């Protein structure tokens, strides 16, 4: 598959949140305000790309030669948890401004299923290293796009009058459904 | 101290992970296109939760507080890998349908949440009851969403045709947007029902 199609599919046609249902927890939890959703989005792009590269290398040079594929889940989650800690420490020392911006989102990312999901998807669909990097960045951008769109909708929803039973998560899910309906329109544009 | 029966039943109604705590939303939305897939995912979560709760509560005094998170993740990941292989061996169709969501049980917040909030503070018997209650709660919720989506999206329940051959399936409910909308409306109905029954 050429890279442009890969980017298009990852951001729009097969959006990680709205059509693959990964990362729903931060999507519902952190999309209340525009700033937090941008911060979380950037943190995800950053960690997702790093972890995808590292897990890809480990898979190719450690797990596959020794046919240890059955350890993939355990190995990947350990790498991601370690990597997040490492990134946190490095950022704190070298780039305090970025650390302050991403700081509170980093620990949450370990249990964000998009990170592990993309690492596994990259290996399962046998992407090479370039495709892995491009796919991870594009998926992260798609996640950010979905977060920012949702934050915009939710800022309006705060002011809307509705039944008290629907307030909060219920109406957010229904709006996500309508958003996802809009994204479905991109499906036919690229043959997967 | 709550009774053992309460320990079991809280996961099904009062603290239902899906409808009350909003945990583990990804599989709830992704794999509930049919009742059987929802049920299968629920049982897988139940199995992993039960095993990890038992082990974590058994070794709760041995794990230093500072490294408890990585230790829990390792324990959970081991059971998830075992579940993955068992499903692949005995129910390959289900394994194929659940796909990436089986390894992702590792980062399912229900399991980590119960380890952190319950198993590390309570003994093995209570942790077993807690895991069973929560697991049954998840299974019921996922199966319910699956039944609704399968009934209207394909006209059947657990593969048995209910609506008759004249029924025109609503494709929307089988597609991703349908998952969000179904769950959103169910959540609203749940809030309504709980309010009426006086459970907060």
Mean pLDDT of A131-148: 94
Distance from CA of B47 to the nearest CA of A (A): 17
Q: Which residues contact A108 (CB under 8 A, 6 or more apart)?
A: A26, A40
- Asked if A123 and A55 count as a contact pair (C-beta separation under 8 A), the reply is yes
Q: Is A112's Cβ below 8 Å from some Cβ in B?
A: yes
The confidence score (pLDDT) of residue A190 equals: 73
The confidence score (pLDDT) of residue A173 equals: 92
Mean pLDDT of A29-36: 81
pLDDT at position A154 over 80: yes
State how far the Cα of A6 lies from the Cα of A14, in Å rounded to an integer: 10
Say how many domains are in chain A.
1
Question: Measured at the alpha carbon of residue B105, what is the angle toward residues B99 and B109, in degrees to the nearest 5?
Answer: 140
ipTM, two decimals, is 0.85
In this complex, the residue of A73, A112, A177 whose CB is nearest that of residue B77 is A73
Distance from CA of A99 to the nearest CA of B (A): 22
State the best of B18, B19, B29 to mutate against chain A, taking most chain A CBs within 10 Å. B29
Tell me the count of A-B CB pairs closer than 8 A. Answer: 114
The confidence score (pLDDT) of residue A158 equals: 86
pLDDT at position A176 over 80: yes
Range from A55-69, A94-108, A128-142 carrying the lowest mean pLDDT:
A94-108
Mean pLDDT of A13-34: 85
Give B11's DSSP letter: T
State how far the Cα of A139 lies from the Cα of B13, in Å rounded to an integer: 36
For chain B, what percent of residues have pLDDT higher than 90? 46
A163: left (phi over 0), alpha (psi -120 to 50) or beta: beta
Query: Strand, coil or helix: what is A164?
Result: coil
Domain extent, residue B78, equals 4-192
Mean pLDDT of A122-145: 92
Whether residue B144 is contained in a domain is answered as: yes
Which uninterrupted H or E stretch holds A172? Answer: helix A169-184
Give B157's DSSP letter: E
B22: left (phi over 0), alpha (psi -120 to 50) or beta: left
In this structure, how many other beta carbons lie within 10 angstroms of the beta carbon of residue B196?
9
Domain extent, residue A155, equals 3-189
Mean pLDDT of A166-192: 85
pTM: 0.87
Q: Is B29's Cβ below 8 Å from some Cβ in A?
A: yes
Confidence of residue B56 (pLDDT cuts 50, 70, 90): very high
Whether residue B77 is contained in a domain is answered as: yes
Q: Is A57's Cβ below 8 Å from some Cβ in B?
A: no
pLDDT at position B141 over 90: yes
The confidence score (pLDDT) of residue A106 equals: 74
Whether residue B197 is contained in a domain is answered as: no
The confidence score (pLDDT) of residue B196 equals: 86
- Asked if A192 and A13 count as a contact pair (C-beta separation under 8 A), the reply is yes
Mean pLDDT of A16-44: 84
Distance from CA of B106 to the nearest CA of A (A): 8
CB contacts under 8 A, A 28-47 vs B, are 28
State how far the Cα of B32 lies from the Cα of B80, in Å rounded to an integer: 20
Confidence of residue B200 (pLDDT cuts 50, 70, 90): low
Whether residue B198 is contained in a domain is answered as: no
Whether residue B140 is contained in a domain is answered as: yes
Say how many domains are in chain B.
1
pLDDT at position B84 over 90: yes
Which of these, A1, A15, A4, lies nearest to A192 by C-alpha position?
A1
pLDDT at position B133 over 90: yes
Best-predicted range by mean pLDDT among A30-39, B4-13, B148-157? B148-157
Closest residue in A to B111 (Cα–Cα): A111
- Asked if A105 and B115 count as a contact pair (C-beta separation under 8 A), the reply is no
In this structure, how many other beta carbons lie within 10 angstroms of the beta carbon of residue A150?
24
The confidence score (pLDDT) of residue A53 equals: 94
Tell me what the pLDDT averaged over chain A comes to.
Answer: 86
Going B78 to B82 to B87 to B89, the CA torsion angle's sign is positive
Closest residue in A to B23 (Cα–Cα): A25
pLDDT at position A58 over 80: yes
């Amino acid at each position: 598959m050429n890279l442009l199609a890969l980017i298009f599919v990852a951001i729009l046609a097969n959006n990680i949140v709205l059509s693959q249902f990964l990362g729903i927890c931060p999507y519902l939890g952190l999309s209340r305000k525009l700033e937090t959703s941008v911060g979380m989005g950037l943190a995800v792009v950053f960690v997702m790309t790093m972890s995808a590269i590292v897990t890809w290398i480990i898979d190719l040079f450690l797990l596959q030669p020794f046919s240890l594929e059955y350890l993939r889940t355990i190995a990947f989650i350990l790498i991601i948890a370690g990597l997040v800690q490492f990134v946190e420490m490095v950022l704190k020392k070298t780039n305090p401004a970025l650390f302050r911006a991403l700081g509170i989102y980093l620990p949450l990312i370990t249990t964000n299923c998009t990170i592990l999901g993309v690492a596994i998807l990259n290996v399962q669909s046998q992407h090479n290293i370039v495709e892995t990097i491009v796919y991870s960045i594009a998926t992260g951008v798609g996640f950010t796009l979905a977060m920012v769109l949702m934050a915009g909708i939710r800022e309006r929803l705060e002011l809307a009058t509705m039944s008290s039973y629907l307030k909060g998560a219920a109406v957010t899910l229904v709006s996500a459904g309508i958003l996802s309906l809009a994204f479905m329109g991109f499906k036919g544009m690229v043959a997967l | 101290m709550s009774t053992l029966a309460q320990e079991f039943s809280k996961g099904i109604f009062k603290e239902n992970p899906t409808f009350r705590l909003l945990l583990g939303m990804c599989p709830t939305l992704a794999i509930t296109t049919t009742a059987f897939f929802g049920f299968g995912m629920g049982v897988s979560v139940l199995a992993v939760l039960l095993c990890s709760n038992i082990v974590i509560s058994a070794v709760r005094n041995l794990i230093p507080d500072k490294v408890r998170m990585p230790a829990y993740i390792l324990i959970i990941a081991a059971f998830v890998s075992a579940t993955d292989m068992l499903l692949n061996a005995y129910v390959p169709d289900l394994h194929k349908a659940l796909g990436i969501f089986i390894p992702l049980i590792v980062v399912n917040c229900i399991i980590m949440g119960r380890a952190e909030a319950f198993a590390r503070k309570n003994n093995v018997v209570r942790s077993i009851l807690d895991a069973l209650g929560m697991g049954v709660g998840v299974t019921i919720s996922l199966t319910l969403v699956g039944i609704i989506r399968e009934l209207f999206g394909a006209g059947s329940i657990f593969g048995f045709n209910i609506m008759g051959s004249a029924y025109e399936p609503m494709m929307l409910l089988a597609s991703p947007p349908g998952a969000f909308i179904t769950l959103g409306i169910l959540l609203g109905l749940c809030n309504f029902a709980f309010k009426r029954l006086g459970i907060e």
